[in-house]
A and B are shown apart, each in its own frame.
Chain A
Amino acid sequence: MRDVYLVGAGQSPFGAFPDRSYRDLFAEAYRAARDSVDRGLEAADVDEAVVGTLGVGGRQLGLSGPAVTEHVGLHNVPCSRVENACAAGGFAVRNAVQAIKSGFADVVVAGGYEVMTDLSDDVTKYWLGVSGETEWERLTGTTFSGLYAQMASAYMTEYGATAEDLSRVAVKNHGNGAKNPKAHLDFECSLEDAVDAPTVADPLNLYHCCPTSDGAAVAVLASGDVVAEYTDERIRVAGVGAASERVGLAQRDSYTGISASQVAAETAYDRAGVGPDDLDFAEVHDCFAIAELIAYEDLGFCEPGTAPELLREGRTDPDGDLPVNTSGGLKSKGHPIGATGTGQVVEAFDQLTGRAGDRQLEDPRPRYGLTHNVGGSGGASVVHVFEREREGVAR
């Protein structure tokens, strides 16, 4: 099958923009992605579009995909919408890869968008809660923070992890996000702040939870056959993996790991021919602090129960051996549901092409980066491994 390359990526700022429409945000992301393509991208070049959104608040539930792509002039380009809750944006990128590998398309625009901050508190809680298992789980009065809190309670009971261990995720990711001009919560926080914050769903406090954000992100993917028309700097989609899992937490074999992520990672590593030790950085789905700890273990960065050690030892800091969430992650950069997964790909593109500004990882510039995007409490997961091909190395 043909290789697929990431030739451009861009995003709107993530944040609270209650006065902006989803089309407006998508337009900004599309413009940024288009302009990031070295030799430019014309609307006529695009064969296919795939976009992810949950449709928070019920706005434009049907045909919101074509609504955004037509808005930016991708006229008559087939567009379909992917819905996998918080993993919609990551799955949109995966669908783009499939379209190119199959030979159906040479250039595909993948993206995601969400507007969440213009809704009343009650409407937000309604929409955010219905991506879990509704008939049984939701009707115990739980919320998403409640589900991840349940996972945290099980993890802390099993491994003896502490509130400090959870809080280190916030400290690290806020430190990174403070350097990201596109981040929603672009401020640093101390460990003390993150430990003493008010409880949201015991044992999770405010600093253990990501914000709800508005935003959009877009990636442009091209086949090996046409990549040279767009850039000389080849960022290859080296591996992609995805899996589903039972939507209700209680239905699963484990509450301290997400099997969909484990399978997605194995598949992606296998296809890329690399392992976790080869990675230079990773963007993982830290919707809640416990999710980042669990991600380290699901993605094979460490053994089950040892993620807190990785954080304590600073190994996932920007100067550690595997920096995680240099963008600030969902915690600091923000979490506009449908846009999040594609937003991670934007950070991967920026890091691999040396465009990450103050956050740029150097000496040497990274070669392999991973993105990890989870839907709901783990009902869907998608992992991508990107590789910056070395100059003069033909594949």
Chain B
Amino acid sequence: MTLEVASVGAYAPRYRLPADGVEEVWGQFHGAGISETAVPAADEDALTMAAEAARLALSEGSVEPADVPRLLLATTTPPLEEGAVAARLASFLGCEDTVETRTFTAGTRAGVDALATGLEGDGPALVVASDAPRGAPDDEVEHAGGAGAAAFLLTADGGGPIRGRAERTAATPGTRFRPAGSDETTGLGIAPYDRSAFTDAVAAVADDLEADLGDADAVALQSPNGKLPYRAAGPLGVETAAIREGTTVHDLGDTGAASPLLGFASALEAGGESVVLIGYGGDGAAAIAFDVGDVAVATRLEGAETLSYGEYLRTRGDITPGEPDGGGAYVSVPSWTRTLPQRHRLVAGRCRECGDLAFPPEGACPGCSAFEAYDEVTLPGTGTVEAATVIGQGGAPPEFVEQQAREGAYVSAIVALDGPAVEDGRDGSAATVSTPAQVGTVGDESVSPGDRVEATIRRIYTQEGVTRYGFKMRLLE
């Protein structure tokens, strides 16, 4: 069967690098039509952004993560070239271990490809595209490169049916590519060749679509920069306003595999009812036309702090010293893995003796010291700061030196996590359980006892080449 879109979530990091900040340093800015780009925080990557977008999509739908049998992830910038990143996303979200996971990569078309694949089959399915392309410092890909993620929850009667779908392959070597072992995407920069490869492919799939693009409120077209999509408007037979309605490139930069999906989310927010997605990259194009009258959308795309170019290089880790010598606190990977339900999903325990919450649910009960079993409860992820400190520059322990080098002072706090709102039919939110946690801040945010916070997934630290992901908190708005 063919599924329908039920809800969409979209996320972008909160740091922004303005075009003039780049121009100030390089004398020019190669990201045509882009005013600023989104920059991932030091503890963000394609996987954490995917989790953010997926949680937003799920928050708007009526499907629990455990009831999602298929999870499809698209990214050209997975944190590992080999490694089961989709399985980690499934763990962040709380999918069952029977969930089918698929990863789409190797071309910016991956997002639309994942969506096309997700639409065909039994539901529900969750499709997430997340990307943060990078290039050489003075390269067009780099100047245009932004960051963001979008997630689509697909169900049998979601409310956003497809009107048509098309796909074309065209071998165009030398357009956009990333050599093995490199984290810099590049291309030969043969402008007319690149341009016609793009225009020909997207025009061909548009042609193949049974739907008429001219009727669409928005065309969410792959946006490697802020100019190319508009050049394709003519060949596609659409108004530039429809292109504008379907892209986030001007404010977020090139979001790679997430680009058309983010454009779709943005068009939904603007009230579009008929949207066509067109992905391009990886030698070819793919298009899907939707009626989206009844699709819910939740986004978190606003910027909150403007970076200078120097701060940008620092945040990205280009000019930081790396892990210091001398050793750091050691938590073995197997023992970290044992605690993933807590690190990823805040699975706590309720004491069978006194009913108090325990986090992590092991050892004696913090309430009554009973050394008995716990019943599992998943906490909602909100909480209240009870105590907080700012670890100033130079004060971080060795395993957090790199994070501090990239992002400066950070907040380490104790947070009283809220209990489950409803448990066994009762309101359990009055009981809390405390945990140490970092509280991420941007701009002039500060953290004090009493502040309300919510959990999100971030990179905690990397040791022996293995990045440990876990929860951190952020201030609730």
Contacts and interface: CB of A to CB of B under 8 A. Distances in A.
Interface of A: 119-120, 122-123, 125-126, 129-130, 133-143, 145-147, 149-154, 157, 199-204, 246, 248-251, 253, 255
Nearest to B401: A122
A202 B470 CA distance: 24
Given A126-B327, A151-B387, A249 B395 contact: no
A147 B331 CA distance: 19
B347 to A, nearest CB: 14
Contacts of A119: 326
20 contacts: A122-B325, A122-B326, A122-B327, A125-B398, A130-B329, A139-B331, A139-B468, A141-B400, A141-B404, A141-B412, A142-B389, A143-B391, A150-B412, A150-B414, A201-B390, A202-B389, A246-B366, A249-B436, A250-B436, A251-B434
B331 A135 contact: yes
B387 to A, nearest CB: 4
Given A125-B398, A141-B410, A143-B397, A153 B449 contact: yes
A129 B331 CA distance: 13
Contacts of A120: 325-326
Contact of A134 (B327, B329, B395, B438): B329
B387 A138 contact: no
A147 B388 CA distance: 9
A139 B329 contact: yes
B448 interface: yes
Interface string B321-344: 000111111110001000100000
Given A126-B397, A143-B397, A249-B414, A138 B329 contact: yes
Interface in B4-44: none
Contacts of A203: 389
A135 B397 contact: no
Contacts of B460: 139
A129 B329 contact: yes
**Chain B at the A interface: mostly helix, strand, loop or mixed?**
mixed
Given A122-B325, A126-B397, A142-B436, 20 more contacts: A122-B401, A125-B326, A125-B396, A125-B397, A134-B331, A135-B331, A136-B360, A138-B329, A139-B470, A146-B389, A146-B391, A147-B389, A150-B389, A200-B392, A202-B390, A249-B414, A251-B366, A251-B434, A253-B366, A255-B387
Given A126-B329, A150-B412, A157-B448, A138 B389 contact: no
Contacts of B415: 250
Contacts of B448: 153, 157
Given A136-B436, A154-B386, A202 B326 contact: no
A140 B436 CA distance: 7
A140 B458 CA distance: 12
A59 to B, nearest CB: 14
Contact of A153 (B326, B339, B388): B388
Nearest to A202: B390
Interface in B366-403: 366, 386-392, 395-401, 403
Given A141-B396, A157-B449, A150 B413 contact: yes
Contact of B412 (A126, A142, A246): A142
Contacts of B410: 141
Contacts of B397: 125-126, 129, 138, 141-143
B426 to A, nearest CB: 24
Contacts of A199: 390, 392
> Which of A123, A130, A139, A202 has the most chain B CB atoms inside 10 A of its CB?
A139
A122 B324 contact: yes
Interface of B: 324-331, 335, 339, 360, 366, 386-392, 395-401, 403-404, 410, 412-415, 434-438, 448-450, 460-461, 468, 470
A150 B387 contact: yes
B387 A154 contact: yes
A140 B396 CA distance: 10
B191 to A, nearest CB: 46
Contacts of A134: 329-331
A142 B329 contact: no
A22 B450 CA distance: 45
Contacts of B404: 141
A262 B448 CA distance: 27
B21 to A, nearest CB: 28
A136 B348 CA distance: 14
Contacts of B450: 157
A117 to B, nearest CB: 15
A248 B461 CA distance: 20
B391 A201 contact: yes
Contacts of A143: 391, 395-397
Contacts of A154: 386-387, 414, 449
Contact of A135 (B324, B339, B412, B437): B339
Nearest to B414: A250
Contact of A201 (B339, B389, B403): B389
Contacts of B436: 133, 136-137, 140, 142, 248-250
A377 to B, nearest CB: 11
A140 B404 CA distance: 12
Contacts of B413: 140, 150
A155 to B, nearest CB: 9
Contact of A140 (B326, B328, B330, B412): B412
Contacts of B434: 250-251
B477 to A, nearest CB: 22
> Which of A146, A152, A248 has the most chain B CB atoms inside 10 A of its CB?
A146
Contacts of A151: 387
B387 A153 contact: yes
A253 B396 CA distance: 27
Contact of A255 (B329, B386, B435): B386
Contacts of B389: 142, 145-147, 149-150, 152-153, 201-204
